[in-house]
Amino acid sequence: MIRAVALDIDGTITDEKRHLFPKALEAISRLNSRAQVILATGNVHCFTRAVAVMLGTSRTFIAENGGIISWGEGEMELLSDPAVCQEAYRRLNEVYPLSKMDSRYRITDLVVEGNFNVAKAASLLEAWGLEADLVDSGFAVHIKERKVNKGRALRLVMDRLGLRRDEVAAVGDSISDLPMFRVAGFRAAVANGVPELKAESDFVSDLEFGPGFCDIVDYMVDEKIL
């Protein structure tokens, strides 16, 4: 049985404008009654904590694509060196006119608008020997330290909470969710998910965004996975 669900936010329980799907609240309430819901998102720590409070999910969560783990109310663990991202941004900004997003609240990574060739920029980072990656979430492009991802953070959460792989589910939509899919025992994607994620999924909803998430919860309950 699943004891914990790692849940992405943007594009999974929201629509393409990042608006929360109303019925997702009911679905999350169903999850909360059966398992520990661990938010795993590219959003900043303060935003993720506010969402966790409003949704009634665990105060243990993953933010900034695995750069931060919040351990309950009192402890925040940083898993990334911000200097790596800052240097990558500085070098790329000499080539592209990058526009930062919500940088005031970010601790471990940087987020920019996706108005440039992401694949080419990633190749430049590698050529420069910088330990940084670019991840296009569909909402923004994250500049992060290469070793940092949701899967690495989720594995640390699993170890600390004593969770086995077969006790953990992951639900998401973007390429940034792929690492956590690879450490979870049950994986589910919404219909708007990227092909790489769907290929790793045990269940793919026919519905997009928030409605797809609700469909996933229904499936997990009906199949007695929860």
Last residue of a domain, one of 124, 145, 166: 145
Last residue of a domain, one of 121, 145, 169: 145
Q: Which of 88, 63, 91 has its CA nearest to residue 78?
A: 63
For residues 18 and 73, state if they share a domain. yes
Residue 109 identity:
D
For residues 138 and 184, state if they share a domain. no
- Which residue shows structure tokens 């966790």? 52
pLDDT at 39: 98
pLDDT at 32: 97
Per-residue pLDDT of the chain (226 residues; tens, 9 = 90+): 999 999 999 999 999 999 999 999 999 999 999 999 999 999 999 999 999 999 999 999 999 999 999 999 879 999 999 999 999 999 999 999 899 987 789 999 999 999 899 999 999 999 999 999 998 988 889 999 999 999 999 999 999 999 999 999 999 999 999 999 999 999 999 999 999 999 999 999 999 999 999 999 999 999 999 9
For residues 152 and 74, state if they share a domain. yes
Rounded to an integer, what distance in angstroms lies between the CA atom of residue 172 and that of residue 96?
30
Last residue of a domain, one of 123, 145, 167: 145
For residues 112 and 157, state if they share a domain. no
For residues 91 and 71, state if they share a domain. no
Instruction: Calculate the dihedral angle through the C-alpha atoms of 66, 140, 20, 157, rounding to the nearest 10 degrees.
Output: 0
Q: Which helix (H) or strand (E) holds 110?
A: strand 110-112
Catalytic annotation present for 8: yes
For residues 40 and 58, state if they share a domain. yes
- The total domain count for the chain is 2
Rounded to an integer, what distance in angstroms lies between the CA atom of residue 21 and that of residue 27?
10
Which residue range is the domain that position 74 belongs to? Answer: 4-79+148-222
For residues 47 and 36, state if they share a domain. yes
For residues 47 and 109, state if they share a domain. no
Rounded to an integer, what distance in angstroms lies between the CA atom of residue 40 and that of residue 88?
24
Rounded to an integer, what distance in angstroms lies between the CA atom of residue 118 and that of residue 100?
15
CATH of the domain at 123: 3.90.1070.10
CATH of the domain at 27: 3.40.50.1000
Rounded to an integer, what distance in angstroms lies between the CA atom of residue 213 and that of residue 226?
15
For residues 152 and 132, state if they share a domain. no
Rounded to an integer, what distance in angstroms lies between the CA atom of residue 188 and that of residue 193?
10
| Residue among 8, 10, 109, 215 flagged as catalytic | 8
